[in-house]
Structures are given as structure tokens and as C-alpha cells.
Amino acid sequence: MEDKREIAIQVSHLEKAYKLYDKPSDRLKEALLPSKKKKYKEHYALKGVDMTVYQGETVGIIGTNGSGKSTILKIITGVLNPSGGSVEVNGRISALLELGAGFNMEYSGIENVYLNGTMMGFSKKEIDAKMDDILSFADIGDYVYQPAKTYSSGMFVRLAFAVAINIEPEILIVDEALSVGDVFFQAKCYHKFDEFKKMGKTILFVSHDLSSISKYCDRVVLLNKGVKLGEGSPKEMIDAYKQVLVGQYPLPEESGENLLEDKEIAEAAGQEAKENGAEAGQGAGGGQAGNAGAGVLVNPELLEYGNKAAVIEEYKITDEKDRDTGAIIKGQKCTVHMKVRFMKDIEAPIFAFTIKNIKGVEITGTNTMIEKAFLESVKAGSVKYITFTQNLDLQGGEYLLSLGVTGFEKEEFQVYHRLYDVMNITVVSDKDTVGFYDMNSKISVQEMP
């Protein structure tokens, strides 16, 4: 079915290649004495990337360092030229790509506001009308009258963000700029970001802050080594990204073909879970529904991966009366249980659980290394039964439980077994306060003489 929405950004078969020379003289020889023999190797920062951003959408781009995130933003904004493919942009862009990008070090802050505004296509009159808002937001005092070369990196980004967000472009492109400055400035940035999103503006957002990606983005694109691995909901792509980080994601061929899209990722993960469960003699997911208790929702399409040096065979949640359940009354004690079988000797396994909301934002969690609860080696064939007991003070609502067994081998992080969103937790509450947690404040109001 054809999407009828207006397109803000259309990226088609985008490529960006760089020439890598073994030595500087090869570059000079090629320039002065052209020959058919190449004296360089081609490195593709982007290879065959397709992406569509519709008007009013907030789309995130995630990936490891060197995946091509910043490169694609620079091509969209015109800072770089592509080696192949095309980019079409419908709307006036404001971009935050690097600290102080576009600033003239000899100009004052005020002069740089006019310079940046003019580069975005605004008239002096339009910039004048927004100047008070820009200076108020930046809040760098009399430094606005000083040369930019006297600014700290924090002052650069405060002024750059103030210009970009207050001139109200049709498309905002942000590359990691929300995570700088002090905590008060960050809060102000996120508040403005919220306002911008509610106004129905188009936002393209790159960040390593996965909570922000999950909170703000409608869709997410996952890049790795210049190739698009997938596209889908924030939750699905963040889970896939975590697999990439530990080398557990089924990477595509270098040609860029056979890429897994969001549904295929879920199907592949579900099939892998079934197969691995059968090999272990028990399913780690739906096969354990009986162990989770009647009425407990166990995810039949959970995301599972790891090298299976240790396997989570069973899991459940119990309430303060030790009853298997997926519903916990707010403020009462609950226990997360998991049974782990070890297939090989492991020096110091780490057992962990995480609770996320249904948007995929990690709310809380812990592990045995953080708690200093278990720092021993384990032999192959051993079976460990782990419990985490705590009072659950989350606000009423629906949550998802994830479990993991990891560790370090010769200082290399290893994932032995992870189960994402294995089961649902319903927190039952007759009093919900602000935010994720109840502070359980003791309140006193007294008459003063």
C-alpha cells in the first residue's frame, strides 16, 4: 500500500567512498602522473543506503562508531557530496552536527548568530525577530559580545543549539548535541525538542543515548559499517543494535544484499529461540510458560542470542507470598527467578535482569557484579538458581522483563545468553505519582506560629 504522506527527505542508493593511500607520495603521483593502475583502496563510509523520512516524523539513526551516521547527515545537509546515489530534501533544514560548526572564531556571538541564520536562508529581519529568544535560550551572558575563540565547547553548543531550534526550521537534524552542557541546559534542550516534535516538525536524530532514541523516535534506522541493517520500531532496532555491539547479529554480505528488515529480525530471532531451546532440551521462551505460572504472559517471539556457554533454562516472577504471577501490587515485594545451566567452565559469570516500559526504555535493573553478590567461577555441567528480591515501587502499568548471563574472558565482554522481553509484568496501583518511581515521601504539614 502506497504511503500518501509528504516526503521530507528521500535518500536513494546513497554511497560515499574515500580513497585510502598507503603513503602520501602515491596521492601526488596519481595527481601528476595519471595511470590505469590504482594507487589507492576504496573505503565505503556508506554503501547503497535507502531511507525515507516523512514530514512530521522523528526518525532516529543508530549504529556503532564508524557506521556512517554522521556521514549521511553531512550529505543530507550538503556539507559532503555523495560518491553515488541521490538525496532529495523538501523543506528548510537546520542542523546541529558538530560543536561550533559554521562559527567564525573571530566573530562575536551576535555576529555568529547572524552568520548562521544567513547560512540557513533567513533574512536579517527574521533573525532580528528571533534574537531575544536565541540569546535567552543560550544564556551565555556578556560572552555573546566576545569573539567566539574565547568560548568553551559548552558555550559553542549552547549558542549553536539556540540558533538552530529558535529559528524554527521545517526540518531539524541533530547529531549528539542534546547530551552536552550542564544538566539544566540539557533539560532545556529536551523541553524545546519536545515542543518542536509536538509542532509536527520533521526531525532526524542521531544519538548513542538509546533512551532518547526510544522516547522521541517514531522509526529507527540501524547502520553498520556503512550498510543499512534494518529499519523499524525503536524497540526492535535498539534490540538489534545491542546484538551488533556484542557481535551476535547476523550481519549481511558486504554487497548490502539480504538485509534483515524489522519483521525478519523478529522472525529470525524467534526461530533461533525455538531451535536453541530444542537443542537444550527445553524452550527458553514459550516452552517455559508452565513454569511462569497460570495467567502469566510469556513472549512467544522473544529476542534471544548468545554463544550458549551458559543457558537460561527457566525463569519466573513471584510475589511476596511466593506465588508465581505476572501481576505485582505496587510497593510489595517481588522476586525474579532464573535457572542457568553451564555448558563450559566460566571464570566469573554475571547474572542480570532489566525492566523496560512497553516503549523499550530501560527503567531499572541490576546484576550480580554491581551488587557484588556472586564473584565465583563455575564448572561445566553446573546449574545455578538465581533470585533477585526487591520492593517494586514502579508506577502502575505494563512492563517487560529481560534476563541475561554475561561475563569477561581475557578482558573481552561475552554474552552467553540474553532473553529480551521474556515476560510481562503488570504493576497494580491505586496511587500513581509523577515519573517512573514512587518516592514514598513522608509528608508533614504544620501550622507555624
The grid coordinates listed for 211 are: 533512551
Amino acid identity, position 370:
I
Determine the longest span between alpha carbons in the chain, in angstroms.
95
Please report which helix (H) or strand (E) contains residue 241, including its range.
helix 234-245
pLDDT, one tens digit per residue, over 63-98 is 988 899 989 999 998 888 999 999 999 988 887 776
* pTM beyond cutoff 0.95: no
Q: What is the pLDDT of residue 343?
A: 96
Q: Is 36 exposed, middle or buried (0-12, 13-18, 19+ CB in 10 A)?
A: exposed
Average pLDDT, the chain: 82
- Of the CA atoms within 13 Å of residue 259, those in its CB half-sphere come to 21
Query: What pLDDT score was predicted for residue 2?
Result: 63
Binned at pLDDT 50, 70 and 90, residue 230 comes out as: very high
Burial track 272-308 (b if 16+ CB lie within 10 A, e otherwise): ebbebbeebeebbbbbbbebbbeebbbbeebbbbbeb
Average pLDDT value for residue range 177-188: 69
Quote the pLDDT of residue 312.
96
Q: Which domains does the chain have, with CATH numbers?
A: 7-245 (3.40.50.300), 281-428 (2.70.50.60)
Examine the pLDDT at 129 and tell me if it is beyond 50. yes
pLDDT of residue 180: 60
User: Any idea of the CA torsion for 285, 286, 290, 296, to the nearest 10 degrees?
Assistant: 90
Among residues 411, 406, 409, 49, the alpha carbon closest in space to that of 248 is found at 406
Q: Among 310, 304, 402, which Cα is nearest to 348's?
A: 310
Instruction: List the alpha helices (DSSP H) in 120-218.
Output: 124-138, 153-166, 183-198, 210-216
Q: Give every strand in the sheet of 333-342, ordered side by side.
A: 310-318, 333-342, 383-391
CB neighbourhood size of 391 (10 A)? 12
- pLDDT surpassing 50 at residue 404: yes
398: cell is 505494563
- Helix axis angle, 109-119 to 153-166, nearest 10°: 40
Q: Is the pLDDT of residue 152 over 90?
A: no
Closest CA to 78 of 68, 93, 56: 93
